[in-house]
Structure 1
Amino acid sequence: MFYDGYHFWGMHLVWWFVWMIFIFWIFAIPYDIPGQRRKREAPLDILKRRFALGQITNTEYQEKKKILENDSSNLS
């Protein structure tokens, strides 16, 4: 009776805004919640995993580890 299709447009727009914020919050949350994104791995952790899987040799591991440790000490 009072609703001609435009009277509640402002509230409709507010709800779209609330839903967009809610969806952004879900995908942008930095915490490790089951089913959500994982935190980024440190380069040394990636190197250790590659060595454990046999993707790189011990020599390559030692060389790259030395480089990463030197880079991290230079940043401090």
Structure 2
Amino acid sequence: MIYWNGGGWAWMAFMPLLWIALVGLVVWAAIRLTHHSPGHYGNGDGGQRRETPREILDRRYAAGEIDTPTYIEARRHLDDHSPNP
């Protein structure tokens, strides 16, 4: 019988690199799939759009972070300074 014994050193050098790449790919995929923060917009992450200033103001008012007079004043300010379509 003839056994091919050439290239054994190449596989010995290649296999650790393959395992390192495989483990790195698994770690990257796990981080990518679990690292999702709600309210994070932009930066090309899944094509999500950014909140407009008006939406931020409405969300803060709904959460009770700002009171009604402040909300009305800020909304008036946004309406006065927003570009007209």
Scaled by the length of structure 1, what TM-score is found?
A: 0.48
- TM-score normalised by structure 2 residue count: 0.45
